[in-house]
Amino acid sequence: MNTAINSPCHLCPRDCGTERSRQKGYCQCGADIKLALAAPHLWEEPCISGTRGSGAVFFSGCTLRCCYCQNMDISANGFGKEISIQRLAEIFLELQAKGVHNINLVTADMYLPQVLGALDMAKTRLHIPVVYNCSGYQRTETVRALKGYTDVYLPDLKYYRPELSEKYSKAANYFAVASQALMEMAAQTEGLVFDGEGMLVKGMIVRHLVLPGCRNDSIALLRWLADSLSGEKFMLSLMCQYTPINWAGLPKALLRRVTSLEYDSVVNEAVKLGLTRGYMQKRGSAQKEYTPHFDLNGV
């Protein structure tokens, strides 16, 4: 892929066509890569973080507009530092030198051409897996472009109903897009491979955050996963850490945490469907402890 940023840009399903050489797109991204943090991260799933951490590279901007986003400073408010493709390649190698288990690209879609360019620059010296950590809201073409660059996919699967995805993330076509993207990811990875330390080195983990009042939507997603993807091809990571901290902008339905009844009904459905390979977060886990402090460390 050409490492020049697409301008006009059609990289994501928003397809906003912005001339990013002159202005920012819907995602709040301009022409240059922008990072907020590059550091070992210990709060991913155990087979990603391990004992030495995952080398998380947090990109600024986002193609979704989740009203409950815990990282608004970087997703919507533009916090970060602009860097070159060369510098991004150096950051990958610096993280590797710190002993992390993998390079974890967090919300990188908006910079896909440059990210692939940086991976090309680093590839002869980069010996750890590359994890693509994303919202699930990826064009199938984007996922195809990642073939050969990504070892582990770590997508969210957020919503089933268009009304819900429009209301909470301004993306009515979320499931239509994400279901196709996940199928392509599963086709590329073809199963789960672990190293001698139990770290995932190839495969896919599908993450789902259960939201208050949305258990039926969660259950519809689980049924789609069970029907559409072989259980051998992915792990499920069910999360209940939702905490309403962005009070001012939240709809009333999201001003509380998920109840035990709601979460247990989703967990029970996962078990009933045989989706038991993976992780089920314990209730009481607070989201705040999983949220990194964005301070340009490592950038």
Tell me the closest approach of the beta carbon of residue 298 to ligand SF4, in angstroms.
24
Tell me the closest approach of the beta carbon of residue 137 to ligand SF4, in angstroms.
10
User: Considering beta carbons, is residue 25 or 136 the nearer one to ligand SF4?
Assistant: 25
Tell me the closest approach of the beta carbon of residue 44 to ligand SF4, in angstroms.
24
User: Considering beta carbons, is residue 14 or 257 the nearer one to ligand SF4?
Assistant: 14
Q: Which of 101, 111, 217 is nearest to 158 (CA)?
A: 217
User: Considering beta carbons, is residue 114 or 237 the nearer one to ligand SF4?
Assistant: 114
Under the rule (CB under 6 A), what is the footprint of ligand SF4? 9-12, 14-16, 18, 20, 25-27, 29, 63, 110
How many CA atoms within 13 Å lie on the side-chain side of 132? 34
For residue 46, is the peptide bond before it cis, meaning its omega torsion is within 30 degrees of 0?
no
User: Considering beta carbons, is residue 106 or 128 the nearer one to ligand SF4?
Assistant: 106
Residue of minimal Cβ distance to ligand SF4 = 25
Strand partners, 41: 54
Burial of 4 (0-12, 13-18, 19+ CB in 10 A): exposed
- Provide CB contacts within 8 A for 234, sequence distance 6+: 186, 189, 192, 203, 204, 205, 206, 225, 277, 278
The three-state secondary structure class of 57 is strand
User: Considering beta carbons, is residue 49 or 63 the nearer one to ligand SF4?
Assistant: 63
Tell me the closest approach of the beta carbon of residue 9 to ligand SF4, in angstroms.
3
Tell me the closest approach of the beta carbon of residue 189 to ligand SF4, in angstroms.
24
User: Considering beta carbons, is residue 110 or 157 the nearer one to ligand SF4?
Assistant: 110
Tell me the closest approach of the beta carbon of residue 246 to ligand SF4, in angstroms.
21
d(CA 286, CA 39): 21
Task: Please state, as a whole number, how many other Cβ atoms lie within 10 Å of the Cβ of residue 148.
Answer: 10
Q: Which pair of tokens denotes residue 292?
A: 């990194």
